A and B are shown apart, each in its own frame.
Chain A
């Protein structure tokens, strides 16, 4: 089969919020229709749903066919793709690979998660399923606990301060102020982070991405299908999924986010780009420490410098290389299986000049970085302006 270029022609998403009035399917349909209405001439040949725990959150599985039927696309093949909180990025990667290979001319990717129907403890349990049931959940370790263990190790081994660790959540909140789909649209200070309630010492509430409901969708097309679309498009230049040793506490060096390093290297090699060409990054900062270690693994910061560089302004809007341009996981929000697709939709807005007050000027290329577990699965994609 011929290899094709791959473009995103349109995106759709809901605001991330406590959507008490809307179901999992309501949210998925709203996002999917948004993406499909943007490119009315293209009918998706396959649907990929990114979702982690609809079975627990909504008592619902078989999301592919459920969504296809709801969209009036009965007959279209449709699957759910799951890799914990990188489910959205993974669903996109499968779709991208198939369009690139020539097997599909168009694909719809929808990420969705319904978290708020659960009690907070039940959400913790659902998210903890990303880790070992027998040896991590068994001892009572939530996902926040694993990140707390990692944060202390990072701070003690590499001499990182409380205020430095707070710097990435502060950037996220600053960038979300003008992002209409963001869950928390107000700026915070480092002080607010260090005064927020303790979750898993040393991690506090404002180190941790919030709980929220949301869905995001993107429509992918081959160059053949794109020729009729005549739209502002973004090109997908590369994408790679990598995995790491499953549990962070079993890794020889817990501070080395090897999956993120390999996914980034692989995706950039496919794109044929050097790091300095990148104009922005959407980084998976489910916890402040994860954002910092990911920036280090991708080589944007040296080891131990991720939070310090953020504190010095290296990643602010208006800098050479802003991150999390609509608020990242901390402030835009983190509806688990949808997060990776939100990131990709945001990259599309940046590269098609539709980012409004959050527009990064003169960015020709950007990346999205989506993670399941503590760097257990990492998914990186590279995007450029369509020429």
Chain B
């Protein structure tokens, strides 16, 4: 695998200007609001002037923008570098560390995305392969129709319809709370991943696992539905492309067994598929905000929307940054997998 290491280093270096750019955009967003956030944070119109003044000083609201920027960035970095979170940025409304709040909500969004991704892959890939093999059959038409309706449906509308079917009528899902493993309370978890479903699995609390599945499968399905249809179409097209390429013709002419031909075709078909999965992850994160709202999940998306409503700019900065960071990391991983599968990419 010569060259992979150099490629990874190069790719990691381009990561740095982008992440600085991302923090700048987030910072600009936070500074668009002309209203005085300090007053809102101190409790609105009746806030005591000395408290407002203290908050203004604490958050450097009277200083020029670059000092504010450095203050915010320092606040973010020091949360992760200092073990006591010395100097980390604090939520002005609750006086808790921003990232404490964010990491409290993150597992919910992670589990939602996990369930969605499971649905996307288990529906999208097999359906795409079947429709490529049975080209122009009813199942091919169905997949086309599925992809079209999936991309056309407002996610909240689909969510409410599914909720009506599976909650109101069938009671196959629950809508209240987020189940947590019991070992969190007693502190007896053998390993803590901070993701409830994994921790419950490791601790052997299978009833909790079932509860989590019951709570999350429907939102996950709703969130993944759109992407699953699109993925099926992509899998179909790239598999057909691969099957009709010269090296497959050659393999057939050589008399290779069908199993081998399939293996070659599949490997080549999955190069574009992996890119699509990475790109779709962005709309998955965006859709998660709406899905969390529909199903009342207290995740990162809900947190962001609430923070916006309270003009809680430090929280908005933190949450938006985390979203961008997750998306960037996913795309980085996709690029790495991509270059591992297809060595031609590493130019």
Q: Tell whether A and B belong to one assembly.
A: no
